[in-house]
Amino acid sequence: MMGKERGKQRVEVIGIHRATRKSSRKLAAQFDCGKTQIENILKRRREILEEYEHRAPPGRKRKRATGNEDLNQLCWEWFGEMTARRVPVSGSMLQAEARRLAAELGHADFKASNGWLDSFRKRHGIAFGGAGAAAAARERGEGEPARDPSQGWTDWLPAALESYSTRDIYSLGEAGLYYRARQSGVGGDWECGGGERAGDRLTVMLCASLAGDKERPVVVGRSAEPRCFRNIGVGSLPVDYHGNRTSWLTSQVFEDYLRRFDRRLGGQSRQALLFLRNAPSHPDLRLKNLKLVFFPPNATSALQPMDQGIIRSLKLRYREKQLNRVARELDGERSAVSKGTTVLEAVYWISQSWADVDPGLITECFSKAGFPVPDTSEVALDHGVGVASEHQAPVALEDLCGRVFGCGVQELVDLDKDLATCNNNIDLDGTVSELTRTQGQPHSEEEESGSDRESEHPPATSQAASLKAVWPHVEALKDFCLTLGHADVLELMMRVEAKLCEKHGQNVARESALVGKQ
């Protein structure tokens, strides 16, 4: 990886890694370089892509530290929050806020000069006077296909979508998820207000097109690098994983995601629309290939396709995997649920559950939200699984849920439906420490190791016994992958484990049905 082509090769490494999930070792062999060099490139991928996007010299080395990185980051987060709340920001306002933050940080020599302002503006692509104006224009519907204010959203929508293919019309939404869902919480207090439940939650961001295409999920946990990941790098996971103290989606994570999405669309010579709700974590970005369209205030629940059954379908499939796993741990006996589910397992279950969501269901949810669905071969409206049938859990799963948790599957799925996914109450005039805390700095360690397993009980049949004999080998193989960092093999093992747990759950349900008939 030498010479003038080095910058382009770095971008190529990042692109191949995202597309194929190849390990660092395989990429090193492909590009004839060291594994450590590949790992460093993947760690710095955001910086490398930003430099490449702004046409920095290919051979340019890592940016020299200015000494004001903490201040610049706080200023950028403040600007993002102000923009998300449609507050017009001028250059002088930003300079004044920068001076205030600098004083609290103890940067006595910082002057927030015009030179600093110009450098900050260029670094982040800011056009002052445009943020507030853009937000106001968004409220009036300007900058979008013309719409008559007297017409409803669904009357305006067909004209807005006219020039876009169904594969270029996207919806994005987030959901909170109690990934452990312990038995003691069912019917109890599931509020996440900093108590013991705070460490049990994740935020999941999903994006899918009208045609049923699904983008890679984003998962935000409480720890930036949970101990359970061990030697599996965050870049090798089947989701885009981030960590902060609150497990909330932040404007920075959101912006990074959209800019990568925009670059990918540009590489495919595509123009796309992205529909989403107004939220503090959703700054109104002006991108080259991706146009953001925000749902009208107080109408998201009816107009957002994600809320018509897409998120619920993912949660139903996640709970199914969770129940099958719990049934295996308890071996069909109702008792307290283990705290053994780790963030790593939750990440793989989320990825698998999202992959299992039917594309036809996604299209049907767009239709239910008022999006016109063309009757062409490009879109299959019904793949045999409709919104209604997708929400009905199998009888065996209902029985399993009742025995393990003492409630129905729908109640289990709805446990976290009102869980916040971002901070809606950030004090923009707060101190540096408050701004830093609300923006969710990464937590240094995972909240609970979750490594203990419930003791297993003697099986009721020889088939159950044969399955039980497999579990130690599955755990040993997973431990092998974690120790040596084999992320690709670990993903396969997670799927094998999920399928075996499913079989075990079916066996337990079958045995219970036979006992009930006696």
Cα–Cα distance measured from residue 198 to residue 190, given in angstroms and rounded to the nearest whole number: 9
Please tell me the CATH code under which domain 153-372+397-415 is placed. 3.30.420
In whole angstroms, what is the distance from residue 505 CA to residue 98 CA? Answer: 58
Q: Starting at the edge strand that comes first in sequence, how are the strands of the sheet with 240-243 ordered?
A: 240-243, 218-221, 201-209, 169-178, 272-276, 290-294
Rounded Cα–Cα distance for residues 31 and 6 (Å)? 11
Give me the phi and psi of 273, to 5 degrees please: -105, 140
With a CB cutoff of 8 Å and minimum separation 6, the contacts of 452 are 338, 339, 340
pLDDT (tens digit, 9 = 90+) per residue, 452-501? 333 333 334 444 457 778 888 888 888 888 888 888 889 888 888 888 88
In CATH terms, the fold of domain 69-124 is: Arc Repressor Mutant, subunit A (1.10.10)
| Residue 469 or residue 340, greater confidence | 469
Is residue 392 within 8 A of residue 42, CB to CB? The reply is: no
- Pair 13, 39: CB distance under 8 Å: no
At 189 the pLDDT is 35
Mean pLDDT, all residues of the chain: 75
What percentage of the chain reaches a pLDDT higher than 90? 23
Is residue 150 over pLDDT 70? no
pLDDT attached to residue 59: 45
Name every residue whose Cβ is closer than 8 Å to that of residue 503 and which is 6 or more positions away in sequence.
467
What pLDDT was estimated at residue 445? 46
Asked if residue 151 has pLDDT above 70, the reply is no
Distance in angstroms (rounded) separating the CA atoms of residues 423 and 187:
25
pLDDT at 209: 96
Domain boundaries, the chain: 6-54, 69-124, 153-372+397-415, 467-516
Nearest to 247 by CA among 174, 337, 353: 174
- Residue 170 is predicted with a pLDDT of 97
Domains 69-124 and 153-372+397-415 fall in the same CATH topology: no
Question: 21-25, 343-347, 479-483: which has the highest mean pLDDT?
Answer: 343-347
- The DSSP-derived string for 102-162 is HHHHT-TT----HHHHHHHHHHHT--TTHHHHHHHHHHHTTTSS---TTS-HHHHHHHHHT
Which pTM was predicted? 0.62
Residue range 180-230, pLDDT digits in tens? 855 444 444 333 333 445 568 899 999 999 999 999 999 999 888 898 998
How would residue 398 be classed by pLDDT, with cut points 50, 70 and 90?
confident
pLDDT digits (tens, 9 = 90+) for 251-304: 889 999 999 999 999 999 999 999 998 887 888 888 999 999 988 877 778 899
Reply yes or no on whether the pLDDT at 424 is more than 70.
Answer: no
Has residue 146 got a pLDDT over 60? no
Q: CA-CA distance, 448 to 443, in Å (whole number)? A: 12
pLDDT score for 94:
87
Residue with the larger pLDDT of the pair 312 and 464: 312
pLDDT band at residue 84 using 50, 70 and 90 as cut-offs = low
Closest CA to 397 of 325, 458, 445, 291: 325
- Count Cβ neighbours within 10 Å for each residue of 269-301 and write b for 16 or more, e otherwise: eeebbbbbbbbbbbbbbebebbbbbbbeeeebe
CA 322 to mean position of chain CA atoms: 19
The token pair at 99 is 């001076």
Query: For a pLDDT cut of 70, what percent of the chain falls above it?
Result: 68
Q: Does 428 score more than 60 pLDDT? A: no
Question: Which own/partner contact pairs does 186-192 have at CB distance under 8 Å and 24+ positions apart?
Answer: 186/405, 186/406, 186/407, 186/411, 186/412, 186/415, 187/406, 187/407, 190/415, 190/416, 192/419, 192/420
